Amino acid sequence: MMDREAKQRELERLRSEVQRLESELAVDAAARHWPPRSYYTVYHVLAGFALGMFGATTSLLFNIVGSVLVGQEPLRLIRIYLTFPLGASVLQQQSNDNLLLVIGCCLYLATGMVLGVPFQLVLTRWLGGSSFTTRFLIISGLSLLLWLFNFYAVLWWLQPLLFGGNWIVQQIPGWVGALTHLVFGWTMLLVQPLGKYVPYEQGAEAT
């Protein structure tokens, strides 16, 4: 028969074995929950961040073409937006100030990437099963609300407060600002399928 000390050692060994098996079972259970059964928020945030560049690029090209057609500087919109950090002085600088305009374009694209996140979340979380017409109307409304918020709820008072002038709201016609935001939203609607989440099925691949 085993003495008391030997039984104690055996009991500790068995307890360690039970803990090891429980840990392995927990890992297996977590693995079975992949892909996520609920809405994969982190994925769609990253997808919106990436797809937002498409929306920003399209809206920027829209403004470049429009400016050329009416005989203005192609990157006039970028120059006006740069008055937010730089003030009125940027409007008097020569149009061939390429480095400044490149920085402005990068900031424009970066802003579009950030704004792409809420559009992607709306399109995938709440409008995933909706018709194209419904999605088009809601995204158009969301784009116009974003324009009104950016221009008249933020820039209208913030730029004069910080820089002493309201150049963005005054020098960008309302219809241009609205169309710029609409083109962004419509582009996000069209490219949204590129960010569709397709879960990786390891079992299916093995089969």
Tens of each residue's pLDDT in the chain, 207 residues? 557 777 777 778 888 888 888 887 766 655 556 666 678 899 999 999 999 999 999 999 999 999 999 888 899 999 999 999 888 888 876 555 788 899 999 999 999 999 999 999 999 999 988 999 999 999 999 999 999 999 999 999 999 999 999 999 999 999 999 999 999 999 999 999 999 887 766 544 444
The encoded tokens of residue 30 equal 């977590």
Give start and end residues of each alpha helix (H) in 36-173.
41-69, 76-81, 83-86, 89-92, 98-121, 132-148, 156-163, 167-171
Give 39-47 contacts, CB < 8 A, sequence gap 24+: 39/124, 39/125, 40/197, 41/121, 43/197, 44/120, 44/121, 44/124, 44/125, 44/195, 44/197, 45/117, 45/120, 45/121, 47/120, 47/195, 47/197
Task: Determine the pLDDT at residue 154.
Answer: 94
* Number of other CB atoms surrounding residue 127 within 10 Å: 17
Give me the pLDDT at residue 106, please: 96
* pLDDT at residue 200, as a whole number: 65
Measured distance CA(8)–CA(130) in Å, rounded:
64
Which pLDDT value is given to residue 31? 55
Give pLDDT, residue 85.
86
- Burial degree of 4 (CB within 10 A; 0-12, 13-18, 19+): exposed
In this prediction, residue 32 carries a pLDDT of 58
